[in-house]
Amino acid sequence: MRIRNGRSVFVLLTLCLLGWLSSASALPAFARQTGEACEACHISFPELTPFGRLFKLSGYTLGTTQLFPVSAMAIVSDTRASNTGGNPAFSRNGEPTIEAGSIFAAGRISDHLGLFSQWTYNNITPSTNADGSTRYTGSFAVDNNDIRVVDHIAKQDLDLIYGVSLNNNPTVQDVWNTTPAFGYPYQTSGLAGTWGTSTQYTPLLNGALAHQVAGLSAYAFLNKHWYLELGNYQAAEGLYGILSHDVTISNRLEGTNPYWRFAWNNDWGPHSLSVGTFGMQAHVNTDPTQSGSPTNRYLDQGVDFQYQYLTDPHVITTQWSLIHERVNWDPAAGANNTSDNLDSLQGKVSYWYQRKYGLTLGMFKTSGSTDAAIYTKAATSGGVPDTRGYIVELDYMLQPWWRLGLQYTGYNKYLGTSSNYDGNGRNARDNNITYLYTWLAF
């Protein structure tokens, strides 16, 4: 599935996909189920509208049960690093690439049961050749899963949606696009991740447990204003092994690992506003291959804010989150400090015209304790994990289910410094990424 040469191949593939989709009569599974257009639930996938949030909180049960609640997604891209330095590890720099494809079983099963189940074929699973270059193979594994049992009480002075979620990625069940699983950036280069030029150190809650855990949480949404969720996570093994199928467990949870979420929401006219807090306490084995090994104790606490202005033709949205992490290290971890702190700030502002043309400005910043034994990739700065940068993205929705994006990610600081972060003369800005991609759902 590798495309080797030429932007013309990228264009040709995109046109072929367009032709195939144009001839298909099926919309994505949720749109088929509800009879609504994609824009009813999404500003641009995965960012949800107020109706989209209610649909998800209702356990994906609104509408009519479909015989085959199945959808698919594909991503084709071209990634270019600012400076490779002639390093053979930067394979496919500037080459069109089929990144991944996903299959979704998603929608209403019954009046009180629904699911969102994603399985992904990653076409750029990396390994290293003898000369230091990178080769890529394809692999198929479980992705985000969220299965819900729900009920709804609607009276004159009471509107209560309540339910239970079984999921495999903390915050994937959340309905505001401020928390990590569906927070911005919504799409990033898979190749940049394999090159090792993405942000190196972030809190555990920021995706480090994705598809490795099983969580059961109870939630309630009162009068469309107050949201409360309490749950617990464990390693996705045994009965829950399907939730980590073909995923390597790099952060193994031990014992009880509580998760919480509280938010206040208000929708009025074209406006929507939410503020909230979320967090998790986790016990992570020092040896990810061995249950019962000593554990490091994590406490991640986050605050978040979202505002949306939804009109026709203008849409403005902004999302911000701050996660503070404190880790108490077991002696087996070999840390220089008994405990370390790590803070992650992310935010963005988007403008859409006619839900078709989009401009997004984003920023990210990570800062933390100095610990050379833990932040080993930051050796030049003495173990300072600090990284900060910005994102500029232009989007064009050819169809509600087809997005063309041009994204530029710039780094002002990387692993504690702006220059010579690796001791070999490589600067933070050398990791800047230009990412052209097309995303299709069908």
pLDDT for the residue numbered 28: 65
Instruction: In whole angstroms, give the CA distance from residue 59 to residue 255.
Output: 28
pLDDT (tens digit per residue) in 93-104: 999 999 999 999
What is the predicted pLDDT for the residue at 313? 96
**CA distances (Å), origin 308, targets 65, 271, 294, 397, 403:** 30, 6, 45, 19, 20
Give CA separation, 342 vs 117, 300, 302, 366, 382, in Å. 31, 9, 12, 7, 16
Rounded-to-integer distance, Cα 252 and Cα 26, Å: 40
Q: CA dist 275 to 217, 421, 425, Å?
A: 20, 37, 43
- Segment 195-218 mean pLDDT: 94
The single-letter code of the amino acid at 56 is K
**Three-state SS letters, 348-402:** EEEEEECCCEEEEEEEEEEEECCCCCCCHHHCCCCCCCCEEEEEEEEEEEEECCE
Instruction: Provide the percentage of residues in the chain whose pLDDT is more than 90.
Output: 79
Give the CATH class of 7-441.
mainly beta
Q: Is 50 helix (H, G, I), strand (E, B) or coil?
A: helix
154 pLDDT exceeds 50? yes
d(CA 205, CA 312): 36
Per-residue pLDDT tens digits for 77-130: 999 999 998 888 898 999 999 999 999 998 999 999 999 999 999 999 988 888
Q: Return d(Cα 97, Cα 83) in angstroms, integer.
A: 19
**Looking at residue 8, what is its pLDDT?**
42
pTM for the structure as a whole: 0.91
Residue 44 has pLDDT above 70, yes or no: yes
The span from the CA of 214 to the CA of 251, in Å, is 13
Q: What is the CA radius of gyration of the chain?
A: 22
Give the integer Cα–Cα distance in Å for 1 and 368: 41
- Find residue 145's DSSP bridge partners: 117
Structure tokens at 184: 């911005």
Question: Tell me, what's the pLDDT at 218?
Answer: 98
In the beta sheet, which residues pair with residue 118?
Answer: 104
Cα separation, 313 vs 280, whole angstroms: 39
- What distances in angstroms separate CA 160 from CA 154, 171, 228, 335, one per listed residue? 6, 21, 12, 47
For 314-335, the pLDDT digits (tens) are 999 999 999 999 999 999 999 9
**Residue in the structure block whose two tokens are 């306490």:** 281
Domain map (residue ranges) of the chain? 7-441
The Cα–Cα gap between 241 and 252 comes to: 13
Between 19 and 287, the more confident residue is 287
pLDDT of 355 reads: 93
Distance, in Å, from the CA atom of 114 to the CA atom of 69, rounded to the nearest integer, reads: 10
User: E-strand spans in 236-356?
Assistant: 257-268, 271-285, 295-310, 314-328, 339-353
Instruction: For residue 442, give both structure tokens.
Output: 């069908």
pLDDT, mean over the chain: 91
Residue 312 has pLDDT above 80, yes or no: yes
Residue type, 384: V
What are the phi and psi torsion angles at 426 (to 5°)? -85, 130
**CA dist., res. 82 & res. 94, Å (int):** 10
User: What's the pLDDT score for residue 87?
Assistant: 86
- Nearest-angstrom CA–CA distance, 344 and 59: 30
Nearest to 188 by CA among 172, 171, 207: 207
pLDDT class of 247 with cuts at 50, 70, 90: very high
Q: What is the mean pLDDT of residues 166-178?
A: 98
Output the six-digit token pair for 26: 């099926």
